[in-house]
Amino acid sequence: MSEAGVIAGLLEELTKLPGIGPKSAERIAHFLLAGDRRHAVELANALQAVADKVRPCSECFNLTDGTLCPICGDPKRDAGVLCVVETPRDVNSFERAGNFRGLYHVLGGRLAPLDGMGPDRLTFSALVSRVNRGGVREVILATSPTLEGDGTALFASTALAPTGVSITRLARGLPSGSSLELANAQMLAEALDGRRTF
């Protein structure tokens, strides 16, 4: 490939990233290609490492480079309370909120039948098996305050009903129609403290 070809290839990959338009892509490419190119090599190595090593936690499906994520592997966490979230980013949001000491379960998205996101593409059955293994007192459904998030929570609660576990939902008050990502740490902490029976 010619030099113009490889640069065009880099720009094309960069513009696929969320929030990166053509101008930002060009700025990043020039930054990476300037000087001794140390940043380009370090970035390439970091990307290779995450692509090779990061996978879902065998217990909660959070992203990790081990078999168990650091949260599942922490004996000080309360394994009796599971907070069910859509994505690993939501785990980070709750961890920043700082008032949750239980474990998580990452669904891998939310139900969106029109986009082909059916229940079999999410980790509902692993969640039910986890609860059936015993030791879980409460499952907090912390899906996003959107129609799809509510539908996902309803599906989860129906799937969990036969287990007899106590099921709660985050308090309202989060910006409705948006992802949990947009809620700040204090709002999330309050929504968690104010949770109610589903």
Q: Which residues bind Zn ion (CB under 5 A)?
A: 57, 59-60, 62, 69, 72
Cα-atom radius of gyration of the chain, to the nearest Å? Answer: 20
Residues 6+ apart with CB under 8 A from 194: 170, 171, 173
Helix count and strand count (H, E) for the chain: 7, 7
Closest CB to Zn ion among 28 and 127?
Answer: 127
Q: Which residue has the tokens 């474990």?
A: 103
Calpha distance 4→15 (Å, rounded): 16
Calpha distance 164→185 (Å, rounded): 31
Closest by CA to 28, choosing from 12, 14, 43, is: 14
CA dihedral angle for residue 84, residue 87, residue 92, residue 94, rounded to 10 degrees: -30
Tell me how far, at minimum, the Cβ of 18 lies from Zn ion, in Å.
24
Closest CB to Zn ion among 61 and 155?
Answer: 61
Tell me how far, at minimum, the Cβ of 110 lies from Zn ion, in Å.
19
Closest CB to Zn ion among 60 and 127?
Answer: 60
Tell me how far, at minimum, the Cβ of 85 lies from Zn ion, in Å.
12
Closest CB to Zn ion among 57 and 174?
Answer: 57
Strands 196-197 and 166-169: antiparallel
Tell me how far, at minimum, the Cβ of 57 lies from Zn ion, in Å.
3
Closest CB to Zn ion among 57 and 81?
Answer: 57
Tell me how far, at minimum, the Cβ of 190 lies from Zn ion, in Å.
25
